[in-house]
Structure 1
Amino acid sequence: MILLVLLASILIVSVTILQYGEQTDEYNIQRFNRKESATKHDIEIELKRKTTYPVTTDNLSKIFQDRIYDIAYVHKLTVSMYGMDGQLLKSSIPYNFDKKEGINLTAATVTELANNSNHKILKTRTDKGITYQSSYTYINDTRFKRIGVLELQIAQDNEEQKQELREFISSLLLVYLLMFIIAISLAYFLSSYITRSIQTISEKIKETHLNKRNEKITLNSASSEINSLVSSYNNMIDQLEESAVKLAQSEREQAWREMAKQVAHEIKNPLTPMRLSVQSFHRRFNPEDPNIREKMSEYSETLIQQIDVMDSIASAFSNFAKMPNQRREKLDVVDIVKHSLDIFTEEYIHYIPKETELFANLDKTQLIRIVTNLVKNATQAIKENEQNPRIEVKVTSGGNNVKIIVSDNGKGIQNENKELIFEPKFTTKTSGMGLGLPMIKNIIEAYDGSINFTSTEGIGTVFTVILPKT
């Protein structure tokens, strides 16, 4: 709207200036034609009068010796008379500009006049803002014989028209300035009305999430286009909720299937040696064997070991599915981490606390679990680096957080495994169920903390745990 008003004002001002220019030029031409006609009429009357001088070229200066000044004064223009060869015969005193007498017509002008079908030439020139118009025609005697060339020149001062144009443009600009201000106001209120609804929709879209209930948009007054957009959004919310329910159900079913497969796989591992042991004992059982008690004891020990393995599998899956309740208490993290490392006897494990004491409200058991799990993984990853193994455990404070860093110079994590490192049942080791890192990740996130890592294959891995102090 503002652009249209601005373009319209520029266009109208430009057209007005052009129109004024054309009207001024047309007015000057008509004015000059009227003066030219009247002047030529007076000259013809003067030539028809009976005088003592015959009407010839040589006598033109004598016939109009005094009369030429009266004609020039009455019509406010300059009158000059030339012979047929362009020689100046007589000239009046010009008005509004100075003109040197004794100037003859050029041969080109005389030739152009002779070759012109209308026997008339019009010339225009501008000097210091004043427009000079000149016309060249023939002077005829009473028998219509050409006896000379008549030059009429008028000075057109257009200052009055220019002043009028400036006043008109000023008034026009004031009107358009008022219209421009009104257009800005209307555009502002109109855009505010439109964008208010769009802003509401935008905020609702930003708040849209897949894992929670989303509110529909309700607008009391809006355009049909906005209402159509709101209706589409509300329909999308309905479809999104249906899709979220289906997706959640599908994910739960998939998770249970995967968990069932993993549990079945882990349970089958100890069942196989138990079956073999029972079958072997059944084939070799001899009640009269003098070593029957030793064999029974060995057989029982084998079964008990496998049963313990199955019990540990069940405990691990139970702990992963249901985390123990957190008991928050004020702990010295520096001291707790130190005691957590006492169970490790490896000399290449180095504890580097950055502070002498660092207190935070955490669960002691879970904190120990986090540290021991990360250090245990680091010792397993470093076994292949027997030349210069090194594990560093650092504890530092960052703002309102506690930061625990466990780094090693082991084999590192392969790029294709980095995205799976916190996935349940994922492991690159020959033993274990792959629940260690997912379990401590759940513990850390329960504190609104975070765990991340950087790893370079062949160089080592650095795990960083951030926990809030309160």
Structure 2
Amino acid sequence: MHLGRFSLRNRIFIAMILLVLIASILIASVAIYQYNEEARDYHNERLERKEENIKESINYAIRKTTYPVSTETMPLIFKNEIYEIAAIHKLQLNLYDLDGSLIKSSKATFETDSLTQCLSAKVLNVLSNTVEHRYVSTTIENNEAFLSSYSYITDHKFKPLAILNIPYLENDNFLNKELNEFLLRLAYAYMVMLIIAITLAYFLSKYITKSLKTISDKINETRLEKHNKKIEIGSTSEEIATLVRAYNSMIDELEDSAVKLATSEREQAWREMAKQVAHEIKNPLTPMRLTVQSFQRKFDPNDEHIYQKVDEYSKTLIQQIDTMSSIASAFSNFAKMPAQQNETLNLVEITRLALDIFSEDYIEFIAKSDRITVRFDKAQLIRVITNLIKNGIQAIPDDKKDKKIIVKVYEDESTVNISISDNGIGISEVNRQRIFEPKFTTKTSGMGLGLAMVKNIVETYNGSITFTSKKDVGTTFKVSFPKG
């Protein structure tokens, strides 16, 4: 969903609703984060308090014992005391020797198998190498979080006797209940705020865009060819008043420009048409010149086929003269392109005829069959082929040794196709989008109307023209017409 497709009124409305929703989500997220931090601190502090109280009970038991106080006598000292301490503080206690082996647990005997019988090296290293001589780990079991603290039990000279382990379950039921109640109250509050925001956003957006709607309607009614009314709005905001003044000033300028534009449009139309007609006339002049030059270069009075060649040259010249005549006739009718004189043609024969005007020996013609029938205007079909071949010739650098242009004519199930390939410089990525634009050219000469005219003729016959190109490899233009 793209916000730019909505009207300003809808965008204001949606923005205000989103603002309320985002605010509610942020506040709820902060509340949940704060709850988690407080719960974590609460459990850590509670575990520390429990640990201090248990250590006081353990120290009391050590002071009153009659056994020698050492690591080896810990199981005897706390043979019964460990159960009493665990019962008083309602926590499980585990005692490990200084090597990390379990020596006593407040758990029942048949449950001690589930305890860790030996502490990990990580726990022992932290206990012995830190100032606090304390380590707390967190584990998850059956979707419940457990804190487990490890610290030294010392004698009155602070000599370590054993390692005390206190597993602690983080029971968040009470805190979760409080959080859920808070979030529920927050949801009710934001539901009311959302309803108020929707109502406020609706009327506010309607008020803001009311004047803009009036201006928009007037702008939509604005036409260059008719007299346009100015906008008259009562008291409104400074921004809207500025916009109205700008519109009314534009209407005054538009009235002045309308007369000038009407005059310049006709002049511009004739200039553009003159350019296109000049380009169209130049097209047949070039092959006529090439034909005469070819005849002049190859003329041999003693050639036994001289009359046949003269006849072919004459037909080519007459054909191009007829093309120029049709352009001149069309220009007399407001510079229209030559009227279509559709007839049934053999595309293979017409293509060969169009190729005869080119003297380049590197042009290769390939036809899949001797006869491919099309319904087309003969002059326009020749114009399409000659323009594409000329573009191919001009695309090949003069100093290239292995020049090649391949012209293919073929048909498939539904279309008749003409393919013209060259091994020239190719079309750059920048120019590919503009290649069929009128008056666009990368050449130092020419009006840039050739490919635009070809595209116009092809589309007139419901055809299509496409191309593929690779830089410094060549370009292939493909023209396709529907059969029938």
TM-score for the superposition, normalised by structure 1: 0.50
Tell me the equivalent position of 1:73: 87
Q: What's the secondary structure of 2:93's corresponding residue?
A: strand
Percent identity over the alignment is 43
Q: What's the secondary structure of 2:100's corresponding residue?
A: coil
Tell me the equivalent position of 1:184: 198
- 1:106 is the counterpart of 2:106: no
Show CA shifts across 1:440-470 (max 9, x none): xxxxxxxxxxxxxxxx7979xxxxxxxxxxx
Q: 1:99 to 1:9 in 2, by over 3 A?
A: farther
Q: 1:415 to 1:113 in 2, by over 3 A?
A: farther
Distance apart, 1:81 and its partner CA: 1.4
Q: 1:5 to 1:413 in 2, by over 3 A?
A: farther
- 1:218 is the counterpart of 2:232: yes
- Give 1 or 2 for the bigger CA radius of gyration: 1
Equivalent AA in structure 2 for residue 9 of structure 1: S
Tell me the equivalent position of 1:116: 130
Q: 1:457 to 1:419 in 2, by over 3 A?
A: farther
Contact 1:39 1:75 in 2 (8 A): yes
Contact 2:101 2:119 in 1 (8 A): no
Distance apart, 1:211 and its partner CA: 4.2
**For residues 62-461 of structure 1, what are the structure 2 equivalents within 5 Å?**
62-93=76-107, 100=113, 103-106=116-119, 108=121, 109-244=123-258, 416-417=331-332, 419=334
Q: How many angstroms apart in 2 are the aligned matches of 1:17 and 1:54?
A: 52
Show CA shifts across 1:221-245 (max 9, x none): 4221111111111222233345557
- 1:40 is the counterpart of 2:55: yes
Among 60, 67, 73, which residue is 1:59 paired with? 73
Among 18, 25, 28, which residue is 2:33 paired with? 18
Equivalent AA in structure 2 for residue 11 of structure 1: L
Show CA shifts across 1:32-56 (max 9, x none): 011111111111122112x332222
Q: What's the secondary structure of 1:57's corresponding residue?
A: coil
Contact 2:93 2:164 in 1 (8 A): yes
Q: How many angstroms apart in 2 are the aligned matches of 1:112 and 1:207?
A: 82
Contact 2:105 2:112 in 1 (8 A): no
Segments of 5+ residues of structure 1 without an aligned counterpart are: 255-409, 422-455, 460-470
Show CA shifts across 1:110-168 (max 9, x none): 34422333221111112123221111112112333222111122111112222322222
Show CA shifts across 1:49-84 (max 9, x none): 2x3322222322222222212211222211111222
Alpha-carbon RMSD across the aligned residues, in angstroms, is 3.1
Equivalent AA in structure 2 for residue 26 of structure 1: D
Show CA shifts across 1:391-421 (max 9, x none): xxxxxxxxxxxxxxxxxxx968856455468
Q: What's the secondary structure of 1:78's corresponding residue?
A: coil
Contact 1:139 1:146 in 2 (8 A): yes
Contact 2:75 2:104 in 1 (8 A): yes
Aligned residues: 264
Contact 1:119 1:137 in 2 (8 A): yes
Equivalent AA in structure 2 for residue 235 of structure 1: S
Q: How many angstroms apart in 1 are the aligned matches of 2:326 and 2:101?
A: 114
Please identify, of 112-121 and 38-47, the stretch whose mean Cα deviation from structure 2 is larger. Answer: 112-121
- 1:9 is the counterpart of 2:20: no
Q: 1:220 to 1:165 in 2, by over 3 A?
A: same
TM-score for the superposition, normalised by structure 2: 0.49
Contact 1:80 1:90 in 2 (8 A): yes
